[in-house]
Every structure is written in structure tokens, then in C-alpha cells.
Amino acid sequence: MSDTTAGGQAAPPVSAAGHKRRLRLGIGGLLLGMFLGMMDNFIVSTALPKIVEDLGGLTSLAWVITAYSLAIAASTQIWGKLSDLYDRKVIYLLSVVLFLAGSMLCGLAQDMAQLIVFRAVQGCGAGGLVVGALSITSVMLTPQESAKVGSWTGVLMGVSLVGGPLAGGLVTDAWSWHWIFYVNVPFGILCVLATLAGVRLPAAPKKRVRIDYLGMLLLTAGVVCLTLVTTWAGSSYSWGSTRIIALSAAGVVALAALVWVQRRVAEPILPPRLFRHHNFTLAQILGFVFGAAMVVPVTFLPLYVQNARGIGSSSSGLLLLPMMAGMVLVMRRGSAWIRRTGRFRILPIIGGAALTVGMGLLLFFGPQTDTLLGSLCMVPLGVGLGCLIQNTVLITRTAVEPRDMGAAMGVGSLTRTLGTGMGVALFGALYAGRLSGSLTEQIGARDASFLVSSGSGDQAQSLGQMPSRVREAWAGAVTDGLHVVAIAGVAAGLVALVSAVLVREVPLGPPPTPPGNS
């Protein structure tokens, strides 16, 4: 990828070196934007008590997180399609600006209602950060080079997952909760400057744009309804409640109408042609499984060590580090393998197999399992997740034409988001049902009902105050709940493995021509 002069002569070596530095600067800016969007999914959690102390609104507290997640899910595909229709860099920068505006407004919020609305604004901007960065890098780089960027995406995901709550607590204690939002601003400005200076894309051809407004409306309605179902069902409302049934029906009707509309408009927000490609469809299955499987170690492993072993919430979060280390390592080595060989199909196969093994190891956990040993057993799970997320993006990238890159990356991000939401709902229902049933068998329905209703939080302190018989029953029931989740996780791993085996190896193609100056 060397620049040339107007006369066709090779530019001096310094120009090639300058181009490489500029490219790194641009990619650094894109990755920084992605990281900010990921961090704000988790950084708020540890600041919530202080937020309630200042703003009140305890009953609306969950919406501080839910509004952000809903906005991301609803806006991701829209940002992706807009990047295909207009200038990708401009659309990405607009998403950064919207995210920063939302961050500032969140910090300035005077009551809980304002904070929730501004979190939705922030989430709408964040929806364009990941999909925009992936869309731009997929156009700028070869598939081999994109794999390296994909490995950094996994690193940032792991850092945000483990470091987000820790950073939120530190910033809140050092200054105030307002600063968990204000701190985005200087980093966001760096992101904008680096993107402006380092990202160079070919000039977009002039064309008449016809925006699919109806498709946007139906997609947003369907995604919001289904996301609310996965957020509320089994926790705020029962699965058979009128509200959950109505939301489910509305979501299904909206998505069914979306499919009908997408076949009849000139520029569909969700182009049906994407799903005609064998590998693209399989990549979305792999992405969905990744999103669902990620829920297990992030949610249910901490529940197990807190409730069965009596370990505090902060320490339980650190037990994810071996899994994250395995995830990061395999992504770094996997990207090197792809760049060296130009082959990728074996990696998602390894990912599906490792995910299945990692989930299966959870079945051997018991109330007395050594905590460190249990944490180390999560390394195969990290390897599986790392192989899946990296290569899901790569398979998606190689399966579509450049004109659909934004829409394709939007679909990929959306399927992972829906996988996470549905994973929480499904695994949570299985866990709660087995936990309650096991307790009922051991201590009776009345005591079990009381313990379950009061035992949904961190039990590290209260566990030691329980009578011995109840403590043993509780630890056993928590472990039984984990085992049911593990069985469902094994099934998810097998789905990923079969899907990966069906993926077809395709040539990764030659390097792109040097970018222009648009």
C-alpha cells in the first residue's frame, strides 16, 4: 500500500511511512470511539447509588441503563445504513458528536427523568460508534488487516467489561458521578481529531438518496419491543403477563411488516440481499450465539461465587480475568494467523468447540469447588468467545459488497445485542426456575419463596448468618441453577460449532488501493 506521485513514480519512503502513521492515527481514533461506547454500558453501574442519592427516582433507576441499551439497539442499523448512503467518515463523526452531547447533558441532569432521556440521547450516538468504526475499517483495510483491528475490538470489550464498573467507582469517589459522563468529552475530542487527521476514504459517488423511513420506524419498533421483553420478562413482569405478551406480539408484527416493506423499497434499511449469502447468514448465527453465551460468565459465574461461596461482588468480578486473558490472547494470535495464511475458517470452528467445552466445565462446579480453579476453568470459554467475535466480523465483512458494508456491520451488531438480551431472559428464567425448585425440594415452598425473593443480590455478608441447613440448601440450589444454565450453554456452543463447520473458506482478496483525500 504505497502512495504514488502524479507522474506514476513511487513516492519517497518517507511518504509510505507517513501514510502508515496516518493510518494508525485514524484507526486509533476509531478504536477510541468504540471504547467510549462500550465503557458507558458498564461505567454507570457502580455510580447508581450516588445518582439516586442526588437525584432521587429510585423506582426509575433501572432505566438509566435500559434507556442506553435500548437506544443502541434501536439506532445501530440506522447508523449503518446511513454510512452506506452518505460519507462514512461524516456519519461516524456525527455519531461521536451526538454521543458527546448526550454525555454532557447526562452530567448536567437535574433529576432522574432528565438523566434517563439524556442517556437515550447518548445511546443513540453510541449506536453509531461501533458499527461506524467497523464499517470504515472494513473499507480502508484488507480482510487480513481488519482481523487485527478485530482483535483490538476484543481487547477493548474485555477492558470495558472488567474495568468499566471499577472506573465508575473510582471516578465517582474521587470527584462525583457527574464526571463519569464528563470524562467522555476530552477523549471524544481526541477521537474526532484523530479521525479527521487519519481517516482517508475514496470520495463517495454522487447519487440520489432515497431513505427508507418506514423501514426505520418498523425496525426501531420491533427492536425496542423485543428488547423490553428480554429486559422485563421474568424479573419486572411474569412471562405470561399482559404487558409481556403485548410487547412480544407488537415486536413480531413490526418485524414481519419490516420484512414485507424491505422487499419493496429502493434502499431498504435491512437489504434482503445480505441474507442470500451463505456465510453472512451463518455469521449472524455465530454473532447471536456469542451475545447469548457472553451472558453466562458475566452474569452467572459472579452469581455462583457470591451466592454459593460468599465472595464479595468486587472480588467476583476479578475472577473473570482468566477468561478475558484467554479471549484476548486467542484474538491476538488468531489475527496473526489470518494475516500470515489468509485463512480463517478453522478459527470459528475452534471457537465453537472451545465454547462447548467451557460451558460443559460448568457442570463440574459444586458448592465446594475451589474458586481459583473455577476461574481458570473459564479460559476455554474465553478462547471460544474470542474466536467467535473476531471471526464473526471478518466473515460478515467478506460476505458483502462495499455498498452494503455499513448495513452489514449494523446487522452484526444488532444480532449480538439481541443475543445478549435474549440470553439474559432465557438463561435467567432457567436459572431462577431451577434455583426455586431446588430450594423448595430441600427447605419447603414457604422458606424457599422468602429466600429467593430476598436473595437476588450479593449474599457475601448474609450467607454466613444463615442457619447451616439453609446455607447448604442455598449454595446447592445456586449450583443447580448454574448447571441448568450450563446445559443451555452447551447447546448454544453446539449451534455455534455446527454453524462454523458450515462456513465456507473464501479468498481474503488483494490489498485495497491507497485511499484518497476526501
4 pairs with which residues across the strands?
Answer: 10
Q: Are 132 and 34 contacting, i.e. CB atoms less than 8 angstroms apart?
A: no
* Phi, then psi, of 507 in degrees rounded to 5: -60, 140
Burial pattern 288-312, b for ≥16 Cβ within 10 A else e, equals bbbbbbbbbbbbbbbbbbbbbbbbe
Q: Write out the CATH class of domain 273-509.
A: mainly alpha
Nine-digit cell string for 231: 429486559
CA-CA distance, 57 to 447, in Å (whole number)? Answer: 31
Residue 68: per-residue pLDDT: 87
3-state DSSP call for residue 337? helix
CA-CA distance, 469 to 444, in Å (whole number)? Answer: 12
CA-CA distance, 231 to 69, in Å (whole number)? Answer: 10
Q: Which residue matches cell numbers 447448604?
A: 472
Residue 496: per-residue pLDDT: 94
Query: Domain residues of the chain, as ranges?
Result: 16-207, 213-265, 273-509
Q: Tens-digit pLDDT profile for the chain (518 aa)? A: 334 333 344 434 445 566 678 888 888 888 898 889 888 887 887 777 788 778 877 666 778 887 888 888 888 888 888 888 888 888 999 999 999 999 999 999 888 889 989 999 999 999 888 888 888 887 777 777 776 776 677 677 767 776 777 787 788 878 888 898 999 999 999 999 999 888 887 766 656 667 788 888 888 888 888 888 877 877 678 878 888 899 999 999 999 998 898 888 888 888 888 888 889 999 999 999 998 898 888 778 877 877 776 665 556 666 777 888 888 888 888 878 887 888 888 999 999 999 999 999 999 888 777 777 877 888 999 899 888 887 888 888 888 887 788 888 888 888 888 888 788 878 888 888 888 887 777 766 665 565 665 554 444 445 556 667 777 777 788 888 889 999 999 999 999 999 999 998 887 754 444 444 33
3-state DSSP call for residue 214? helix
Domains 16-207 and 273-509 in one fold: yes
511 CB-near residues (< 8 Å, 6+ apart)? 1, 142
The pTM for the full model equals 0.79
Tell me the HSE value of 381 on the side-chain side, using a 13 A CA sphere: 29
Architecture of the domain made up of 16-207:
Up-down Bundle (1.20)
Neighbours of 239 (CB within 10 A): 13
CA-CA distance, 197 to 195, in Å (whole number)? Answer: 5
270 CB-near residues (< 8 Å, 6+ apart)? 77, 81, 215, 219, 258, 262, 407, 411
